[in-house]
Structure 1
Amino acid sequence: MQARPSQQEILLPVKFNVILITLALAFVLNLLPWFGVGRILRPDFVALVLLYWCIHQPRKIGFFGAWMLGLLMDVVDASLFGQHALAYSFLAYAAIVMHRRVQNFALVAQIIYAVLVLFSAELIMLMVRLLGGASLPGWDYFSGILTAAALWPLLGAMLKIPRRTRAELEPT
């Protein structure tokens, strides 16, 4: 991901299968058992990848896809039914509404936007948990968002590869 899109980069539309594979990989990363510091710093990989695809391919994955992913995450995570669905739907809305602007932001501004949206989604899930009777979590509840901010440039570079033309991928 460049610091600022200086020249217009022509990217191919991504196939829906690529989106499904990346979301499935993010889903698996969410389900892996994390221990120690990794558990504290683990971001919500599904939310991170969903945010990327809603910004860059809003017509291929939208509110319904985000809602279905959220329900699936609720079932697998054994959390309050609908909390991930509500948070992911908000995340998709925030990404789709601003998708044209965010694509033209500098990298630092994109990271800030991603952090704000991911923080809001985590806050929605926290409010739903608290309304469901859960206790207030510790200070490290939001620490995964900082890891997500660090992963945003890497994620952007990796998920841009299937969208590049063959001429761009060949060494010069």
Structure 2
Amino acid sequence: MNHPQYILQPVNPIFIIFSLIVAFVLNLLPWGFSVGIPDFVALVLVFWSIHQPRKVGIGIAFTMGLLMDVHDAVYLGENALAYTLLSYFAISIHRRVLWFPPLVQSFQVFPLFLGILVIKLGVRLVISSDSHFPGWLYFLECAVTTALWPIATWLLLAPQRRPVDKDETRPI
């Protein structure tokens, strides 16, 4: 109860675009290992779909999914379908999630990240005849992405926080 509630400034649309571009570039990086790499685009999409559902919605998620499909050279629409459903479900739970602190929020967004991995795996298994189950370490990605949720929340809300200095003439 002693933690003050800060009033956030309105988000700058340029910052939203910048954060989505940075997430896309982070997904483009050639990581030295292939297991447990977080999906930065999914993380940022869920964050903005929860915090700004009127500015980042299903259309942006679909576009980012198509860009990731082209980059990953997977079936066109696999990531687009997953990100669209991810954004839809994030928007549908956004009021409930915002009641909790970031650590508890991470437990509530974990099923979203797990769901998109299941959708991607399901599309691959259904469409391709030579696909096989990649193993249980495939699902480590959603755990790592969920672990990054509090850090992403802190980073993406930083430009919106008001200064801590108090003005005695202002009531809030």
TM-score by shorter chain over 0.5: yes
Alignment deviations for residues 57-84 of structure 1 (CA, whole Å, 9 cap, x no partner): 1111101110111011101111110011
Alignment deviations for residues 90-126 of structure 1 (CA, whole Å, 9 cap, x no partner): 1111111111110112334311111110000111111
Aligned residue number for residue 149 of structure 2: 152
Paired residues for 1:1-172 under 5 Å: 7-36=4-33, 39-133=34-128, 134-165=131-162, 167-168=163-164
Contact 2:113 2:146 in 1 (8 A): no
Q: Secondary structure at the match of 2:133?
A: coil
Relative contact order, higher structure (CA 8 A, sep 6+)? 1
Contact 1:43 1:147 in 2 (8 A): yes
Over 6 Å off, 4+ runs: none
Query: How far apart, in 2, do the equivalents of 1:28 and 1:85 lie?
Result: 17
Which stretches in structure 1 are left out of the alignment for 5+ residues? Answer: none
Which is further off, 152-161 or 136-145? 136-145
Q: Secondary structure at the match of 1:92?
A: helix
Q: What CA RMSD, in Å, does the superposition of the two structures yield over aligned residues?
A: 1.9
Distance 1:80 1:164, change over 3 A: same
Distance 1:132 1:60, change over 3 A: same
Contact 2:38 2:144 in 1 (8 A): yes
Aligned residue number for residue 169 of structure 2: none
Distance 1:53 1:149, change over 3 A: same
Q: Secondary structure at the match of 1:135?
A: coil
Q: Which amino acid aligns with 1:31?
A: L
TM-score, length basis structure 2:
0.89
Q: Which has the larger radius of gyration?
A: 2
Query: How far apart, in 1, do the equivalents of 2:54 and 2:118 lie?
Result: 26
Q: Which amino acid aligns with 1:95?
A: A
Q: How far off its partner does 1:5 sit?
A: 10
Query: How far apart, in 2, do the equivalents of 1:122 and 1:111 lie?
Result: 16
Which stretches in structure 2 are left out of the alignment for 5+ residues? Answer: 167-172
Identity %: 45
How many residues are matched? 164
